[in-house]
Amino acid sequence: MTKRVTLIIHGIVQGMGYRYTSRNEAQKRNFTGYVQNTDDGTVLLVAEGEEKDLKAFITWCYNGVGPALVTAIEEQWSAPTGEFSDFMIRS
């Protein structure tokens, strides 16, 4: 089942290549959505795809990005909107 997940990723995640690496991984998994840095030092990631694939991606988000140190990920699940055609980095 296709779902949308919004993640707020906490830890040492800015300036570590987190957005670029997570974008590349999301594109490999055929997700649509975006990732962006926020003013409070977290990373916001919105992805749409198959629920089981998104859950595996969340696990990857904890450990998959080189020197980044993720301490927590807040998850919010919802119905997909289909508004994205690709997965991109937002400024």
Which residues are designated catalytic?
Answer: 19, 37
Per DSSP, the residues of the chain read -EEEEEEEEEEE-TTTTHHHHHHHHHHHTT-EEEEEE-TTS-EEEEEEEEHHHHHHHHHHHHH-STT-EEEEEEEEEE------SSEEEE-
